Amino acid sequence: MDLFELFGDEQHPAYQKLSVANGNRHYSFLESMATTALEIERPMLFQSIIKALNFHAIVGLHHSAGKYRSHPVEVGKYRPPEHYSVPPLMDDFVNLVNRYWETTDLFFLAAFALWRINHIHPFVNGNGRTARAVCYFILCVKSGGLLPGDTILPEVLRAEPNRTRYVRALQRADQGDENNLDDLIQLIRELLHKQISGRN
């Protein structure tokens, strides 16, 4: 089933209802993966986790859930890397995250993951949801457990007024490289503090 293909509209009531249900399963799976990574003492990122997070986010909504895209895409004025570059770029991305897992500040690593997945845009749909989930996975695992708060960072990032800052921070990083992540790091730090203190 692919509701977008059936209706051609993400505002269709059936699409919206399934999207909410997917979101609940998406974050439940995210929490399970973070907890499991700590229990088995494998605090690292795997491509299988990234693909599974995308699958849970968009299954039933869009085709190719959990699979890297097989065609070019455009996101507004931004044109992500060509589809044939996605697998090697994701290999490099995951290897880099794991190489620096122990020695890099958790906010930098989370911001880098959030930006890089959005930049590569490896999936047909659900890239933002997947990137925010991976960012939060890194924060939880590097912190040693699930973080307290009723509304978690991935949801707070996508809601206004934070969404505007979030998009601008991604755009600034796109103008250079990981050295332009300061705005994104600051935003994650602020919003995570609000989450933990119960002020979001």
Of residues 1 and 144, which shows the higher confidence score?
Answer: 144
Give 132's pLDDT tier (boundaries 50, 70, 90): very high
Q: What percent of the chain has pLDDT over 90?
A: 73
Average of per-residue pLDDT across 22-40: 92
pLDDT in tens, 4-20: 675 666 877 887 888 88
Mean pLDDT check: name the lowest of 1-15, 29-43, 105-119.
1-15
Mean pLDDT score of the chain, rounded to an integer? 91
pLDDT for the residue numbered 90: 98
Average of per-residue pLDDT across 94-121: 96
Domain spans in the chain, listed from the N-terminal domain onward: 3-197
Give 3's pLDDT tier (boundaries 50, 70, 90): low
Average of per-residue pLDDT across 32-57: 94
**CA-wise closest residue to 82 among 120, 131, 128:** 120
Q: Does the 3-197 domain belong in CATH 1.10.3290.10?
A: yes
Average of per-residue pLDDT across 185-189: 96
